[in-house]
Structure 1
Amino acid sequence: MALDPTDWTAGMRQLILLALVGLGAQLVDGSLGMAYGVTSTTLLLAIGTNPAAASATVHLAEIGTTLASGFSHWRFGNVDWKVVAKIGIPGAVGAFAGATFLSSLSTEVAAPVMSLVLLALGLYVLIRFTTFGLPRTNLGKPLRKRFLAPLGLVAGFVDSTGGGGWGPVGTPAILASGRLEPRKTIGSIDTSEFLVAVAASVGFFVGIGNEGVNFTWVLALLAGGLIAAPIAAWLVRHIPPRVLGSAVGGVIILTNVRTLLRSDWIDASDAVKWPIYGLIYVVWAAALAYSVQQHRANRDVERATETV
């Protein structure tokens, strides 16, 4: 039976689109510590994939992308292995539980509440890094297991039930503590996500098998992510902490405002959403510009002091 050239062309376009989405999502995730799952899952849902299969597809692709990302971050010195162990293992437990026993529960009610908390953390991160730069009061102090373990458990559960959430929950919480510099926060979150992706994938296979999972889509997302992983790890190494903190803060704010505006609590119309998004983009761009300007000014002062 001959293949219809039109169907073949459409299929190839879809795979190329998925690969580009995987590349873009991993570039953002590896640079800012979040957004791979949210971006990829949103696309899969938009083309009609059921939520469980979409999340399973993304997590299968993430096994490869997070392994490559973790290796790249390790090579560039962006990983704190103590943090990876303390948050990654509880994260895997939460992801497996969410994928098997609890994935049928609706997170629609919990999502707006969590978004409010994360929005507050995002505002803190944006203001703190933009105004004062890298917080140094607590920098270098150890992150306790009693803080990281519950954080990992919640982030892993949200990640598997919502198709994304490991980075958006974990990254701002650790950044807000001021105990770990941004590049190591992002590198450690990305590396520990490998454990979460494996646990969630096992959980989905236990719960739903491979029903609805398109392994060609998995490979397409994976291919794009593998290309982006080392580039993102290199970027994190070279972006100044102050600028990186402002960038992450803006992503956190935009992501969670979007969730709130789409929730049943608000259910805002497009006429309300887009002006709010526009305002956030303007403020975010101004914060980034100020952070860059202040970084350059401080660098010039340091160089002048060294030459005296």
Structure 2
Amino acid sequence: MSLLTQNKNIAEEKESNELFPIFLKLQNFRTLLVGAGNVGLEKLEAMLFNSPKANVTVLGERVLPQLKELIKNYPTVELFERKFKEEDLKGVELVVLATDDRDLHRYIRGIAKERGLLVNVADTPELCDFYLGSIVKKGNLKIAISTNGKSPTVAKRIKQVINDSLPDEIDDTLDQMSKLRDTLKGDFAYKVKKMNEATASLVEEPKQSKQIISSTALSWVIWTIVVAFATITFFALWNQEPAFKAYIEQVNPHFYYFLAAGFVFAMIDGAIGMSYGVTSTTFSLSMGIPPASASTAVHISEILSNGIAGWMHFRMGNINKKLFKLLIIPGVIGAVSGAYLLSSLEHYSQYTKPIVSVYTLILGLVILRKAFNVNKVISADKKIKKIGVLGFTGGFIDAVGGGGWGSIVLSSLIAGGRNARYSLGTVKLSRFFIALMSSLTFVTMLSGLHWYAVAGLVIGSAIASPIAARVSNKISAKTIMVAVGVIVILVSSRSIINFILLLLSN
């Protein structure tokens, strides 16, 4: 039975989607958009996101400021703030109607159909000749989704699923396949065979044995590094901190405060994917720990948790290898530079402490702002490009301020259009190396480490790590982010005010 016959039989049994999908080069057409309100803005954004050089004429009696701002970057878009006139259809090939006046829509559509024009009418499928479907865009790959006008909301949800499932590297695959196709010689059948062989791995099930071996190898590397670092830290504390030996006989009461803090902050980090560094540093500063020692305690405690998290993300395939390579070297350089600078200024902690408090105050405001934009969808056409600069800046500020790698790097990647799942996994894995190198720098340069703070945060965060994911799923991320932002702002402000009062008293 032919495919055409099968489709005919299916259509007789049940209503089906009979739309024929095509991809238009909108720069070769003249499109008229009637309506410059919220719906008109949405339609225009969809057209320009997919075809930045589209020739569009926009008509609207009331024009949103956002639409005016949008078209400033698109010279092929014209805007007229007035009512529709019949002569506006002259020379037009596509018509999109996006006002709240249905009678006007029917009037314009009637004229357009007399002239043989194709029309799309917002929220009125029966009047449409074509639909503006949801689009998944990954570089040169573009997937259009249609529900036959039944539910645009479902189409958007499917778009999110596909967008999250496709890695950013798919565009690299397309480039490689294009280069391969250009090198192939022979007839059409031979080229098809070779292209099928090259793409077979995209649909094959991954070999479990290789994945297990790769994951096991990475886990052994991480654990070996952790053990080696723990050994170096132990001997450094043993030789440089006399109080470390006394800990065997008497535990500093502040240890328990840091133990509880490490647990709570790790739980928060598990819920929203960031803020462990800034909350731990803010708490440490409020407990009288100098900035360099506070940053040391935070980074040492992050090594184990981020090593485990990074390994798990690697096993789940959530690592963007290209992004990881671009982040890791600049990030490590920035982290070591920041740790070296802060350690060199440890004797001036009374001055560096308020500076770090200002930084944590700013991060608190950033977290609070993000809490109220947690569901905001960021357009993927603004993907961040300067990954190396972002990595260096994030590593440097993270070491100096005791935190910020997640808040700065992860937030910037996601806000810049990067895939959230792959960004989170990549940032977590790279965070292990950032924390490791900055901690090594701190340990080798500082002689008066506050070991009770280090031990408390390490043990507390380690206890929280296995249960953070389960518990965090039951708590609203927005609620946690608001609470964290407020607490960080209040504690940081207190430190700044105390410094100002100290200056005034002198």
TM bracket, shorter-chain basis: 0.5 to 0.7
Alpha carbons 1:261, 1:268 under 8 Å: kept:
no
Query: 2-side partners of 1:184 and 1:235: how far apart?
Result: 22
- 2:468 counterpart letter in structure 1: A
- 2:460 matched residue in structure 1: 224
- 2:404 matched residue in structure 1: 165
- 1:154 matched residue in structure 2: 393
Residue-pair matches, total: 249
TM-score between both structures, scaled by the size of structure 2: 0.41
Alpha carbons 1:22, 1:225 under 8 Å: kept:
yes
Query: 2-side partners of 1:256 and 1:80: how far apart?
Result: 32
Alpha carbons 2:360, 2:492 under 8 Å: kept:
no
1:178-197 per-position Cα deviation (integer Å, ceiling 9, x unaligned): 3222x444333332211111
1:245-296 per-position Cα deviation (integer Å, ceiling 9, x unaligned): x56864785477558855869x999xxxxxxxxxxxxxxxxxxxxxxxxxxx
2:436 is aligned with 1:189: no
Does the residue aligned with 1:11 lie in a helix, a strand or coil? coil
Cα separation, partners in 2 of 1:114 and 1:204, compared to 1, 3 Å: closer
Higher helix fraction (1 or 2): 1
Query: 1-side partners of 2:423 and 2:474: how far apart?
Result: 14
Question: 1:96 offset after TM fit, Å?
Answer: 0.4
Does the residue aligned with 2:289 lie in a helix, a strand or coil? coil
**Which ranges in structure 1 are unaligned for 5 or more consecutive residues?**
1-6, 270-308
Question: 1:100 offset after TM fit, Å?
Answer: 0.9
- 2:391 counterpart letter in structure 1: G
- 2:287 matched residue in structure 1: 47
Does the residue aligned with 1:213 lie in a helix, a strand or coil? coil
Query: 2-side partners of 1:257 and 1:42: how far apart?
Result: 9
TM-score between both structures, scaled by the size of structure 1: 0.62
- 2:463 counterpart letter in structure 1: I
- 1:86 counterpart letter in structure 2: L
Q: Aligned runs of 1:223-302 on 2, under 5 Å?
A: 223-233=459-469, 246=478, 250=482, 254=486, 257-258=489-490, 261=493
Question: 1:200 offset after TM fit, Å?
Answer: 0.9
2:307 is aligned with 1:67: yes
- 2:442 matched residue in structure 1: 204
Q: Which has the larger radius of gyration?
A: 2
Does the residue aligned with 2:251 lie in a helix, a strand or coil? helix
Query: 1-side partners of 2:458 and 2:406: how far apart?
Result: 18
Cα separation, partners in 2 of 1:18 and 1:109, compared to 1, 3 Å: closer
Query: 1-side partners of 2:414 and 2:364: how far apart?
Result: 12
- 1:23 matched residue in structure 2: 263
Higher strand fraction (1 or 2): 2
- 1:221 counterpart letter in structure 2: L
Query: 2-side partners of 1:260 and 1:44: how far apart?
Result: 11
Query: 1-side partners of 2:263 and 2:366: how far apart?
Result: 29
Question: 1:226 offset after TM fit, Å?
Answer: 1.9
- 1:195 counterpart letter in structure 2: F
Which structure has the higher relative contact order (CA within 8 Å, separation 6+)?
A: 1
Alpha carbons 2:360, 2:489 under 8 Å: kept:
no
Q: Aligned runs of 1:102-121 on 2, under 5 Å?
A: 104=345, 106=352, 119=365
Question: 1:10 offset after TM fit, Å?
Answer: 8.0
- 2:424 counterpart letter in structure 1: I
RMSD (Å) for aligned C-alpha atoms: 4.1
- 2:455 counterpart letter in structure 1: L
Alpha carbons 2:282, 2:360 under 8 Å: kept:
no
Query: Between the two proteins, what is the percent identity of the paired residues?
Result: 29
Question: 1:234 offset after TM fit, Å?
Answer: 5.5
- 2:389 counterpart letter in structure 1: P
Alpha carbons 1:69, 1:230 under 8 Å: kept:
no
Query: 2-side partners of 1:63 and 1:19: how far apart?
Result: 16
Question: 1:97 offset after TM fit, Å?
Answer: 0.3
2:325 to 80, 85, 90: 85
Query: 1-side partners of 2:364 and 2:453: how far apart?
Result: 31
- 1:167 counterpart letter in structure 2: G
Question: 1:149 offset after TM fit, Å?
Answer: 1.6
- 1:283 matched residue in structure 2: none
**Which ranges in structure 2 are unaligned for 5 or more consecutive residues?**
1-246, 502-506
- 1:98 matched residue in structure 2: 338
- 2:157 matched residue in structure 1: none
Cα separation, partners in 2 of 1:36 and 1:129, compared to 1, 3 Å: closer
Query: 1-side partners of 2:471 and 2:382: how far apart?
Result: 25
Query: 1-side partners of 2:286 and 2:364: how far apart?
Result: 25
- 1:19 counterpart letter in structure 2: L
227-236 or 111-120: which moved more? 111-120
Query: 1-side partners of 2:294 and 2:359: how far apart?
Result: 24
Does the residue aligned with 2:428 lie in a helix, a strand or coil? helix
Query: 2-side partners of 1:215 and 1:69: how far apart?
Result: 25
